[in-house]
C-alpha cells in the first residue's frame, strides 16, 4: 500500500486509516460529523496527496489536452484552472479532472487517485509523436487542502503570497512555509472557500506542521476522506466511481456547462452531439428522503406504479441539514424538483422528493 | 472499552440483558466504536416478533449501514425512541441509555448460546 508524505502525521493525530485507491488514507480523525461541521463553520486541513498530477509541456500541449477533454482548455489563460470531464468515444467518462494552465505551453492535470493508472495510459495512448512531453508526478507530489471560511487566514499566516487577490479557480506560485516554488490554487471540493497546495513530497510534512498551529488557532481540525465525501455530496459535486463512470455521460450527469460542443473536435464529441440531439434519457438529480431511511449507492428507485425509474448513486445523512440526502439517476419525465418517487431500502419502498442543487446553500466558496 | 458481565453477547456484537421474562437488547461498545458516530437507527415496532439469527433493524453511521441481528427470539414490547431520535446516545452510552429494544423472551434457553463478557472480549480480541 502506498503512503503519502504525511502518513506519520496522521498516525500522530490518531487517524483511522483505511485503504483507498491503493493508498493508506485517513477516513476520519475524530468524527465525520464533527469534521464536516468544522469545515463549514471554520476551517480544516486535508491530505489529498493520493490525487494524481500529470504535467504536460510543449508547443502542442494545449491542443492535445483540448482534444482529450470536453471543456475549453484553449480558452484558459495562464494562471487559470478549469474543471472538466474526459470522455471515451462513446461519451462515457474516463475521469473528471482539473486542468491548470501553468504557462503558454504547460499544463497540469489533477486526476482522481483511483484513476491514475487508467488516465495515464489514456494520455500516453493519445500522445502525439512530437510536440508534447508528459510526466506523471502523481507519486512524488503532496497535496494539502485548506478549506473553510477561515482558510485564507490560516494560509496567509505562512506565506507572503497575495491570497486575497487570488480568484476562485486561479493559481499562483511562491514561497509557503519557507518552501520555495509551491503551487497554490483557490479550488476545492467542499463548497467553502479554500486552497489546494501542491509541492514535492520532501516538503509535505514541513508544510503541514507550519500550517497546523494556525489551523488549530482558527478552530480547525484535520479532515478525513469521510467528511470530504459528505461535504462534496451536499454540493452535488460528482464522485467518480459513484455518480459518474464509463457508463454515464457528462450531459446526463448535469455537467453540461463543462461540455463545449462548439470548441472543435475532442474525444466523445460525436456521441455527445447525438445525446444532445436525442435529449438525455436520464438525469442525475438531488433528492431528500421524506420517509425515514438512508438511501445508499445502488438502491433502486420506483415511480408510484412500481416501475423502476432509476437508481441511487450516492447517499448519506447530511451533517449540515440533519436529514438523509442523495443523488440518483432518474428517467426523463421524473426529474423535476418537487416530484416524489420511491427508493427501495432493505426491501421497503420509501418516499423521496427531487430537490434543487446544491443541498447546502450557505457555502463560503468565492 | 468495557463489557459489563451482567449480560450476554452475540457474535454479531449485540448484547442481551435478561430481566425476568423480558430482556433488553443493545450493541456493544466495540460495535459502536467500529461503526463510528451513529446517525440513523431503524427498529421494529412494538408487537413485532424477532427471531434469533435474523436481521431485525439497522444502525447506520455516515459511511455505513450495519444490520442488527437478533441475539434471542421474542416479541418486541418496548422500543427506545430516545435512541432512535438521538442515535449518538448509543455511542455515548451503549449499555444503559443506548439500549435499543425490550423483548419478551420466547425461549430463554437461547441465552445459553451467547457469550459471557469474558469470552466475548476474547473473541473481539482475535478480530
Is the predicted pLDDT of residue A297 greater than 70, yes or no?
yes
10-residue mean pLDDT series, chain B (127 residues): 94 96 97 94 97 96 93 98 97 97 97 96 82
* Tens digit of each residue's pLDDT (9 = 90 or more) over A143-164: 999 999 999 999 999 999 999 9
* Tens digit of each residue's pLDDT (9 = 90 or more) over A262-292: 999 999 999 999 999 999 999 999 999 999 9
Has residue A110 been placed in a domain? Answer: no
Is the predicted pLDDT of residue A366 greater than 70, yes or no?
no
Cell numbers 421474562: residue: B21
Q: Is A230 on the interface with B (CB under 8 A)?
A: yes
| A308 and A190 in a common domain | no
Has residue A163 been placed in a domain? Answer: yes
Q: How many domains does chain A divide into?
A: 2
Q: Which of A214, A249, A196 is nearest to A86 (CA)?
A: A249
Has residue A12 been placed in a domain? Answer: yes
* Tens digit of each residue's pLDDT (9 = 90 or more) over A134-144: 999 999 999 99
CATH number at residue A313: 2.40.30.110
Question: Is B36 in contact with A346 (Cβ distance < 8 A)?
Answer: no
| Among candidates A16, A294, A319 on the partner chain, residue whose Cβ is nearest the Cβ of B65 | A294
Has residue A265 been placed in a domain? Answer: no
Q: Is A226 on the interface with B (CB under 8 A)?
A: yes
| A179 and A321 in a common domain | no
| A218 and A329 in a common domain | no
pLDDT score for B127: 53
pLDDT score for B1: 81
pLDDT score for B126: 60
* Tens digit of each residue's pLDDT (9 = 90 or more) over A44-57: 999 999 999 999 99
The domain of A29 spans 2-49+139-234
Tell me how far apart the terminal alpha carbons of chain B are, to the nearest angstrom.
15
Which chain A residues are Cβ-neighbours of B63 within 8 angstroms? 27, 32, 226, 229, 316
Minimal CA separation from B39 to chain A, in Å: 7
Question: What residues have CB less than 8 Å from A101, skipping those under 6 apart?
Answer: A62, A73, A76, A77, A78, A79, A80, A81, A107
Q: Which helix (H) or strand (E) holds A102?
A: strand A93-103
| A152 and A43 in a common domain | yes
Q: Is CATH 2.40.50.100 the right assignment for the domain spanning B8-125? A: yes
Question: Is A33 in contact with B37 (Cβ distance < 8 A)?
Answer: yes
**What's the complex ipTM?**
0.87
* Tens digit of each residue's pLDDT (9 = 90 or more) over A325-362: 999 999 999 999 999 999 999 999 999 999 999 999 99
* Tens digit of each residue's pLDDT (9 = 90 or more) over B70-97: 999 999 999 999 999 999 999 999 999 9
Q: Give the residue-averaged pLDDT of A214-232.
A: 98
Has residue A267 been placed in a domain? Answer: no
Amino acid at each position: 500500500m502506498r503512503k503519502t508524505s504525511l502518513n506519520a502525521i496522521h498516525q500522530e493525530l490518531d487517524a483511522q486509516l483505511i485503504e483507498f485507491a491503493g493508498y493508506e488514507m485517513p477516513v476520519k480523525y475524530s468524527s465525520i460529523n464533527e469534521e464536516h461541521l468544522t469545515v463549514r463553520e471554520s476551517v480544516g486541513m486535508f491530505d489529498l496527496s493520493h490525487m494524481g498530477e500529470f504535467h504536460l509541456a510543449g508547443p502542442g500541449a494545449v491542443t492535445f489536452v483540448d482534444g482529450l477533454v470536453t471543456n475549453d482548455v484553449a480558452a484558459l489563460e495562464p494562471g487559470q484552472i478549469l474543471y472538466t470531464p474526459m470522455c471515451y468515444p462513446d461519451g462515457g467518462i474516463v475521469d473528471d479532472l482539473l486542468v491548470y494552465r501553468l504557462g503558454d505551453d504547460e499544463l497540469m492535470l489533477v486526476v482522481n487517485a483511483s484513476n491514475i493508472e487508467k488516465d495515464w495510459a489514456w494520455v500516453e495512448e493519445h500522445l502525439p509523436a512530437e510536440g508534447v512531453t508528459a510526466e506523471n508526478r502523481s507519486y512524488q507530489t503532496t497535496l494539502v487542502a485548506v478549506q473553510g471560511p477561515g482558510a485564507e487566514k490560516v494560509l496567509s499566516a505562512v506565506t507572503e503570497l497575495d491570497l486575497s487577490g487570488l480568484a476562485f479557480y486561479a493559481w499562483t506560485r511562491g514561497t509557503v512555509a519557507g518552501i520555495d516554488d509551491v503551487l497554490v490554487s483557490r479550488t476545492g471540493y467542499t463548497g467553502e472557500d479554500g486552497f489546494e497546495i501542491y509541492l514535492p513530497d520532501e516538503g509535505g510534512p514541513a508544510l503541514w506542521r507550519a500550517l497546523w498551529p494556525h489551523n488549530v488557532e482558527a478552530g480547525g481540525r484535520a479532515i478525513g476522506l469521510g467528511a470530504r465525501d459528505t461535504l462534496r455530496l451536499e454540493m452535488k459535486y460528482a464522485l467518480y466511481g459513484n455518480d459518474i463512470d464509463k457508463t454515464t455521460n457528462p450531459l446526463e450527469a448535469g455537467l453540461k456547462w463543462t461540455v463545449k460542443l462548439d470548441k472543435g473536435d475532442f474525444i466523445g464529441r460525436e456521441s455527445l452531439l447525438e445525446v444532445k440531439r436525442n435529449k438525455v434519457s436520464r438525469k442525475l438529480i438531488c433528492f431528500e428522503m421524506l420517509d425515514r431511511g438512508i438511501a445508499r449507492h445502488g438502491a433502486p428507485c420506483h415511480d408510484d406504479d412500481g416501475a423502476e425509474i432509476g437508481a441511487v448513486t450516492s447517499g448519506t445523512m447530511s451533517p449540515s441539514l440533519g436529514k438523509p440526502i442523495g443523488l440518483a439517476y432518474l428517467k426523463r419525465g421524473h426529474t423535476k424538483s418537487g416530484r416524489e418517487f420511491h427508493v427501495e431500502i432493505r426491501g421497503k419502498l420509501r418516499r423521496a422528493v427531487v430537490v434543487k442543487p446544491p443541498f447546502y446553500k450557505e457555502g463560503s466558496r468565492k | 472499552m468495557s463489557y459489563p458481565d451482567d449480560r450476554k453477547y452475540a457474535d454479531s456484537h449485540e448484547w442481551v440483558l435478561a430481566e425476568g421474562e423480558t430482556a433488553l437488547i443493545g450493541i456493544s461498545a466495540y460495535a459502536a466504536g467500529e461503526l463510528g458516530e451513529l446517525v440513523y437507527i431503524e427498529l421494529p415496532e412494538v408487537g413485532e416478533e424477532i427471531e434469533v439469527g435474523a436481521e431485525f433493524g439497522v444502525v447506520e453511521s455516515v459511511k455505513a449501514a450495519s444490520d442488527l441481528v437478533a441475539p434471542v427470539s421474542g416479541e418486541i414490547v418496548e422500543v427506545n425512541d430516545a435512541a432512535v431520535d438521538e442515535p449518538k446516545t448509543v455511542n455515548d452510552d451503549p449499555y444503559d441509555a443506548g439500549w435499543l429494544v425490550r423483548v419478551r423472551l420466547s425461549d430463554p434457553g437461547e441465552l445459553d448460546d451467547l457469550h459471557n463478557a469474558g469470552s466475548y472480549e476474547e473473541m473481539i480480541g482475535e478480530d
